[in-house]
Structure 1
Amino acid sequence: MKKLMLLSVVGMLILTSCVSKKEFMALETKHKATQDLLNSATVKLNKCLSDEAASAARLEELKNRLADMKSSNQALIENTKDMTVLTTQGAKNVEKSLESLKEKDLKISRLQDALSKKDSVTLALVTSLKKAVGIDDPDIEINVEKGVVFISIADKLLFQSGSYNVTTKAKDVLAKVAKVIKSKPDFEAMIEGHTDSRSYSKGVLIDNWDLSVKRSTSIIRVLQELGVNPGQLIAAGRSSYVPLADNDTAENRAKNRRTRVVVLPKIDQFYEMIEEEMKNLSAEK
């Protein structure tokens, strides 16, 4: 081993002795420059590798952010579509509500027109009755209650006390009433009998209910004889339960004994008039 090392040293001395010092210095300088270049290239390479890793990480981050942005953008698009649908539906609902309000206003207007027509007919009827019957007789009263026309005739003009037979004088008054009823074939006339509170019983009549209804039917028969269509007539009795005054004096009891002729439009025809207005409304849509 020592021999081998000795031979190596000798060899190096021989080789060194073979190269001039100048050439050796030149080679050494060149070697140093090469080493410097290698070191510089190594530093640059390491920097490039580091930059590449940083760029890759940045790229991955940007990709993730882009994916998040795409997701958010899609969600916004979907929300916008939903909002558009809601806004459109809301506009349609508002439009329908406005149309509904217009329709209701028009229906109310139609009903008001129908009621106005009825009121006009009622006013004309009152005028006709007052002209035909006369308004100077204190025992005959013509009025309107809640849109209904009625004639109230005192008991003494129609019947003897405690009787349901119509007097001859009463027929003159009823002839005038019959004339008006006949002129209004689209109306009905309800003959409504009223008594005072004193108990009554005679023959087959056992109380004031019987008496009030019997007086009503007696007047109806007279009106029918005078040419009134019986289909327009309604018999009714109220006994003593709708008084005009307390039954504490003879005068007040006389007020309560009366017959009312209630003239009113036929209910079915009134509704037909309203239905006709509704049909006109539907046809105009």
Structure 2
Amino acid sequence: MKKNILFIALAATVLMSSCASKKDLVACQTENKSLTASLQSAREDLAAKNARVQSLEEQLAAQKYAMAEQKKLVTNLQNSLDKSLNNASQNNVSIEKLVDQINESNLYIRHLVEVKSKSDSLNMVLTNNLTRSLSKEEMKEVDVQVLKGVVYISLADNMLYKSGSYEINERGAQTLSKIAKIITDYSNYDVLIEGNTDDVPISKTNIRNNWDLSCLRASSVAQVLQTKYGVDPKRLTAGGRGEYNPIESNDTEAGKQRNRRTQIIITPKLDEFMDLIGKAPESK
């Protein structure tokens, strides 16, 4: 009898110990899952921020380039004025006429700087509004840059299209709805949609090659912007560049993935912009 009681007590102790161990194990597994999820979220957040930093660095480099070009323009004009002054002194040109020429040149320089500054400011506001409207997940596959006064929105093919197709998927449509809102708000800009592929050959019933695929994908984006989100089709141009505009080598899978993209290029209306630059400033 005593042996039986001892055995039962021992078994109960082992059982309780086993239950406690299982509870500890479950608790550890739950905590591990939570920590893993937090780590993954932190990594994704860091990747998105790194992409944003890279984009801002590229924009800063573009701004520095633009400023350097402006300085070149001013230097060239100053050299031209110095030459005119020298010629005037040699040819006895009236001081009044020379002063008028200098004033006109200064007005034109100021005009060009104002036009460039206005364009840059609008583009930066447009870019900031767009990036704020995109989610953290979308920013991983959408790259926004401003280069030489033009806004480039580059979208990965796997976020826009169904696999091996030019049909827009649901996730891509949601992202395009946000881009369409920005495009609609900035009515003085034209929009070029440009399809790009990697160099892997494709041949389907209705797609002969990568030229076809890139054009069909660009056209799909243009039609979604028009029919679903109300963008004026007169502002849209769709075109494809096939595999001939790579940004990375196609020798790696990562390179191919970057090359498979659709770019939405937003520019000031060319005719209005050229009229603004070509219009002489009014003399005061």
Helix, strand or coil: the match of 2:242?
coil
Helix, strand or coil: the match of 1:190?
strand
Superposed, 1:64-103 pairs within 5 Å as 90-92=92-94, 94-103=95-104
Q: Which residue of 2 aligns with 1:271?
A: 274
Q: Which residue of 1 aligns with 2:187?
A: 185
Larger Rg: 1
Calculate the TM-score normalised by the size of structure 1.
0.64
1:142 to 115, 135, 144: 144
Helix, strand or coil: the match of 1:127?
helix
1:132 and 1:180 in contact (8 A); partners too: no
Q: Which residue of 1 aligns with 2:254?
A: 251
Superposed, 1:166-185 pairs within 5 Å as 166-185=168-187
Superposed, 1:1-285 pairs within 5 Å as 90-92=92-94, 94-134=95-135, 137-225=139-227, 226-276=229-279, 278=280, 280-281=281-282, 283-284=283-284
What is the CA–CA distance in structure 2 between the aligned matches of 1:134 and 1:120, rounded to whole Å?
Answer: 24
How many matched pairs? 195
Residues 157-209 of structure 1: per-residue CA shift (max 9 Å, x gap): 01123211111111011101111101111111111101001112222322211
What is the CA–CA distance in structure 2 between the aligned matches of 1:151 and 1:133, rounded to whole Å?
Answer: 12
Gaps of 5+ in 2: 1-88
What is the CA–CA distance in structure 1 between the aligned matches of 2:153 and 2:272, rounded to whole Å?
Answer: 22
Helix, strand or coil: the match of 1:251?
helix
Gaps of 5+ in 1: 1-86
Residues 58-98 of structure 1: per-residue CA shift (max 9 Å, x gap): xxxxxxxxxxxxxxxxxxxxxxxxxxxxx9x7152x44233
Return closer, same or farther for 1:126/1:135 CA change in 2, 3 Å cut-off.
farther
> Displacement, 1:241?
1.4
Supply the AA of the counterpart residue of 2:204: K
What is the CA–CA distance in structure 1 between the aligned matches of 2:267 and 2:110, rounded to whole Å?
Answer: 23
Helix, strand or coil: the match of 2:92?
helix
What is the CA–CA distance in structure 1 between the aligned matches of 2:263 and 2:124, rounded to whole Å?
Answer: 18
Q: Root-mean-square deviation (CA), in Å?
A: 2.1
What is the CA–CA distance in structure 2 between the aligned matches of 1:237 and 1:91, rounded to whole Å?
Answer: 56
Return closer, same or farther for 1:200/1:246 CA change in 2, 3 Å cut-off.
same
What is the CA–CA distance in structure 1 between the aligned matches of 2:276 and 2:207, rounded to whole Å?
Answer: 42
1:132 and 1:176 in contact (8 A); partners too: yes
Residues 22-57 of structure 1: per-residue CA shift (max 9 Å, x gap): xxxxxxxxxxxxxxxxxxxxxxxxxxxxxxxxxxxx
> Displacement, 1:251?
2.1
What is the CA–CA distance in structure 2 between the aligned matches of 1:135 and 1:169, rounded to whole Å?
Answer: 14
Identity %: 36
What is the CA–CA distance in structure 1 between the aligned matches of 2:108 and 2:154, rounded to whole Å?
Answer: 36
What is the CA–CA distance in structure 2 between the aligned matches of 1:146 and 1:243, rounded to whole Å?
Answer: 20
Divergent runs of 4+, >4 A:
none
Calculate the TM-score normalised by the size of structure 2.
0.64
Q: Which residue of 1 aligns with 2:73?
A: none
Return closer, same or farther for 1:135/1:244 CA change in 2, 3 Å cut-off.
farther
